[in-house]
Amino acid sequence: MNYIKSISFIICLFISFLAKAQQPVKLMLDKQANDDMTRKMQSLIALYKYPKQPFAPYSVFGTSAQGNSEFNVKMPDLTGYKDTCFGFIFFGGADNEKLKGNVFTLVVQNKRDMKPAIIWTDKNFNLDLTDDGNPDTMKYDQPFLDITFYDKQNKSAYYTCRLSRLDLFKNAKYKMLVDDYYKGHSGNKIFAGSVYSFKEQRQNIRAADYKVGNDSFRIALKDVNCNGYYAEPGIDLILIGNYGQEELGDANFQIDNKNTFFEKNAMRFDVKEIDATGKSLTVELNTGAKLTRQLNTGKKIPKFKFSLIEDENKKIKIKKYKNKPTYIYFWNYEQTRFTEDTIALRSLQNEFGSKINILTLNYGETPKELLNFKQRASIPWAIGRSSKPINDLFYVETFPSGFFTKKRLKLTHANISPAELLTLLRNGSGNKN
């Protein structure tokens, strides 16, 4: 009788979890995040020396074009200021006819010395720098400056651009290439130089952490055209990443007019509502939907080639591993569970290394870093390098992610952790052909 009561209690708990998981959940997107493109992007906001007015519009900037498209700007009092430069900052919500999508920017004291640079931006998009409030300042040793632009009709819709500078004493070759490019493509404008311009990092991703059952991940909205709106169909994106990590993975899903959804670890989530200005996102787990981004169990895994860290030039076909059950584990240093998974992998190798293949594929670290790790930690299993095309074949969106196959590389378990596989094998359920 007690046994039956226990089983009934467990079933009730499971049903309760499913019911709770399938209710819409509103997530407040109050965290800033980046994707790979944001991290790697070194877009330059080129600054030019200011000799006189009028100015050429951004659409013909970098050429010698002149004519009716030129414009004048109402300037603040520049008495006593030197080293004056101008340029344009991208903002998709800027609605000025001459500079649609760009904001006129004026910088004085732009010598990067003890005097701070003073920066006016045309926040009203009316080519008048006297009605935008106080200018921003940036000290010579300040790591960055955030400047925020608001939609004129809706102050809840805004976009922040993060300005920083190139290091005066590093990356000389890169700076020389940039200088040569702009000097050769600036028409009759005088380029101030790469070290006197700004690096641009777009703060256009808002995120929240989400837990559902035993799974957890970070979900975000990306304002692709940087206009302060995050729910434009066919333009903006939903991004998925590891729980608690600022940089998101490669998985992205385009926002649709009618049926927006995303998939994560063999689960589908329907998007019920998106706040237009990116403040919140409401999702619901859909347990009955057919998944579109997963490998099918019972089928062979995709064919691919990879290299082991000991020899980057030698490509190995995965079919080399077809004679034994194989565990393929995608990972990187920044993942959650790194220590726990490494311990479980070592137990897998010690207990079942003669019966199964263990192949770990790293995404993000250099061969030198991986070789040092393997030698320092005395890693006995194979470490190879993954790539975005390989990740895409397996629909790997976040790390870690594991796949277990029978002989002949037929998939039996997707998204299985080393600890879960260890339990499976110890129970005798996973090493069958």
260-293 pLDDT per residue, tens: 999 887 789 999 999 999 999 999 999 888 888 8
Question: Rounded to whole angstroms, how far apart are CA atoms 401 and 362?
Answer: 11
Closest to 94 (Cα-Cα) out of 134, 152, 43:
152
Percent of the chain with pLDDT strictly greater than 70? 90
Burial class of 72 by CB neighbour count within 10 A (0 to 12, 13 to 18, 19+): exposed
Q: Comparing C-alpha atoms, which of 91, 111, 112, 174 is closest to residue 182? A: 174
Task: Indicate if 268 and 413 belong to the same structural domain.
Answer: no
Q: Tell me the CA distances in angstroms from 342 to 7, 333, 418, one per residue in order.
A: 34, 11, 8
Confirm if 407 and 323 have CB atoms less than 8 A apart: yes
User: Would you say residue 230 has pLDDT above 70?
Assistant: yes
Contact criterion met (CB below 8 Å) for 106 and 55: no
Task: Indicate the SS3 state at residue 274.
Answer: strand
Q: Answer with the residue of higher pLDDT: 251 or 81.
A: 81
Both 71 and 144 in a single domain?
Answer: yes
Per DSSP (E only), the strands in 11-138 are 25-28, 31-32, 44-45, 48-49, 85-90, 102-108, 117-121, 136-138
- In the predicted model, what is the mean pLDDT of residues 214-220? 88
Give the chain's radius of gyration (CA, Å).
27
Last residue of a domain, one of 285, 316, 339: 285
E-strand stretches of 265-391: 267-274, 280-285, 305-308, 316-317, 326-331, 357-362, 382-385
Asked if 285 contacts 223 with a C-beta cutoff of 8 angstroms, the reply is no
- 7 and 82 belong to one structural domain: no
Cβ–Cβ under 8 Å, residues 283 and 25: yes
Q: Are residues 350 and 380 in the same domain?
A: yes
Q: Which pLDDT score is estimated for 431?
A: 56
Please check whether residues 140 and 266 belong to one and the same domain.
no
Q: Do the domain assignments include residue 297? A: no
How far apart CA 361 and CA 309 sit, in angstroms, is 10
Q: What is the mean pLDDT of the chain?
A: 89
Least confident of 18-22, 117-121, 254-258, 370-374: 18-22
Report if residue 432 sits inside a domain.
no
- Domain identity same for 154 and 69: yes
The Cα 228–Cα 231 span in angstroms is: 10
293 within domain boundaries:
no
Instruction: Write down which residue in 202, 230, 258 finishes a domain.
Output: 202
Residue 189 sits in the same domain as residue 55? yes
In this prediction, residue 422 has a pLDDT band, given cuts at 50, 70 and 90, of very high
**What value does the mean pLDDT take over residues 195-201?**
96
**Mean predicted confidence (pLDDT) in 235-243:** 92
pLDDT of residue 65: 55
306-318 pLDDT, tens per residue?
Answer: 999 999 899 999 9
Question: What are the backbone angles phi and psi of residue 152, rounded to the nearest 5°?
Answer: -65, -30
Total tally of structural domains belonging to the chain = 3
pLDDT digits (tens, 9 = 90+) for 121-177: 999 999 999 999 999 999 999 999 999 999 999 999 999 999 999 999 999 999 999
Is position 18 within any domain? yes
State how beta strands 382-385 and 357-362 pair. Answer: parallel
Interatomic CA distance for residues 22 and 187, integer angstroms = 59
Let me know if residue 300 belongs to a domain: no
Strand ranges (E), 151-222 = 158-164, 198-203, 205-212, 215-222
Residue 418: is its pLDDT beyond 70?
Answer: yes
pTM for the model stands at 0.76
Q: Which amino acid is at 378?
A: S
pLDDT given for residue 38 in this prediction: 67
At 119, is the secondary structure helix, strand, or coil? strand
Instruction: Grade residue 17 by pLDDT with cuts at 50, 70 and 90.
Output: very low
Q: Which residues form the domain of 277? A: 2-32+205-285
Same domain, 98 and 233: no
Torsion angles phi and psi, residue 181, rounded to 5: -65, -50
Same domain, 234 and 374: no
Whether 18 shows a pLDDT value over 80: the answer reads no
198 and 314 fall within a common domain: no
| Mean pLDDT, residues 177-198 taken together | 91
| pLDDT tens digits for range 165-182 | 999 999 999 999 999 999
pLDDT score of 248: 85
71/220 same-domain check: no
**Per-residue confidence (pLDDT) for residue 301, from 0 to 100:** 96
Strand ordering across the sheet containing 85-90: 48-49, 85-90, 102-108, 117-121, 136-138
Task: Please compute the mean of the pLDDT values over residues 1-28 and round it to a whole number.
Answer: 60
> pLDDT band for position 417 (50/70/90)?
very high
User: Is residue 126, in this structure, part of any structural domain at all?
Assistant: yes
Do residue 15 and residue 152 come from a single domain? no
- Least confident range from 4-18, 133-147, 189-203, 338-352: namely 4-18
DSSP H helices, 319-380, are 338-352, 367-376
Q: How much is the average pLDDT of 84-95?
A: 95
Cα–Cα distances in angstroms (integers) from residue 193 to residues 65, 105, 253, 343, 426, in the given order:
21, 16, 39, 51, 64
Instruction: Please report the pLDDT score of residue 8 as a whole number.
Output: 52
Name residues whose C-beta falls within 8 Å of residue 235's C-beta, 6 or more positions apart in sequence: 224, 225, 255
Give the Cα separation of 381 and 357 in Å (integer). Answer: 8
The span from the CA of 310 to the CA of 327, in Å, is 20
- Asked whether the predicted pLDDT for residue 9 surpasses 60, the reply is no
Q: 300-344 pLDDT, tens per residue? A: 999 999 999 999 899 999 999 999 999 999 999 887 789 999 999
Is residue 276 included in any domain, yes or no?
yes
The CATH number that applies at residue 335 is 3.40.30.10
Domain-located, residue 139: yes
In this predicted model, what pLDDT tens digit does every residue of 36-47 receive, in sequence order? 776 666 689 999
Out of 151, 170, 202, a domain closes at 202
